[in-house]
Amino acid sequence: MSAAEARPLGVLLRSGGHEAAHYALVLATGAAAIGRPAVLFATNAGLALLLRRQPLLAEEREALLARRGVAGIAALLAAARELSVRFLACEAGLKAEGVAAELLAEGVEVAGVVTFLAAVGAGQIVAL
């Protein structure tokens, strides 16, 4: 199946925890690695993943993952960017959390749920 034929994967990240953010990136990068377009849409507490200052890079947890041979959030974010995963920050979620768009990492688009749904189209959506 070519990338053009592949059904997009949409990942909706609502949780601000390390585990949910980590697996959201695992799913998005995995999909992109096999040629499926991937869109990660973060809202509310999940927006922590897309901030310029990355609060989810918990040194202890990241070090544990590295010792066990598991890619951490920093490595997965780099891979996601390299694989052209599209990052969307929910406009309403930003307002609800009181987070300014200027605090988002480079390359993150501010968009609404309609943009996310349109990007996924007839693809699949996974919520974490």
**What are the pLDDT digits (tens) for 62-117?**
888 999 999 999 899 999 999 999 999 999 999 999 999 999 999 999 999 999 99
- Measured from the Cβ of residue 3, the count of other Cβ atoms closer than 10 Å reads 11
Inside any domain, residue 71: yes
Domain with residue 52: its CATH number is: 3.40.1260.10
Of the candidates 97, 77, 60, which has an alpha carbon nearest to the alpha carbon of residue 24?
Answer: 77
Question: Regarding predicted confidence, which is higher, 3 or 29?
Answer: 29
The reported pTM is: 0.92
CA angle centred on 65, ends 13 and 18, rounded to 5°: 25
Inside any domain, residue 2: no
CA angle centred on 82, ends 80 and 83, rounded to 5°: 65
State whether residue 118 is helix, strand or coil.
helix
Inside any domain, residue 39: yes
Domain span at residue 35 reads 9-127
Q: Residue 55's pLDDT is what?
A: 73
The number of folded domains in the chain is 1
Q: Residue 113's pLDDT is what?
A: 98
Inside any domain, residue 44: yes
Q: What percent of the chain clears pLDDT 70, i.e. is strictly above it?
A: 97
Inside any domain, residue 103: yes
Inside any domain, residue 1: no
Distance between CA atoms of residues 17 and 76, nearest Å: 15
